[in-house]
Amino acid sequence: MDIKLVDITLHIDKNLSTEQRETIEESLRALDGVVSVHNSEKTAYLTYCAIQF
């Protein structure tokens, strides 16, 4: 089986609250094919995703 993954970086508003960033993460995780989502407090304006297709 050939698994294909793509990593993407999303630039989001750095002024969003922790709760707003968590909502974005939860929404991304709910999408088909998304296998990983991460947002760090150090780089709050960046969200990293791994997507399988």
> What's the pLDDT tens digit per position in 24-44?
999 999 999 999 999 888 898
Is the whole model's pTM more than 0.85, yes or no?
A: no
37 forms bridges with which residues in the sheet? 49
Q: Which amino acid is at 39?
A: N
> What's the pLDDT tens digit per position in 1-16?
788 999 999 999 989 9
pLDDT at 41: 84
DSSP the chain: ----EEEEEEE--TT--HHHHHHHHHHHHTSTTEEEEEE-STTTTEEEEEEE-
Domains and their CATH numbers in the chain: 5-52 (3.30.70.100)
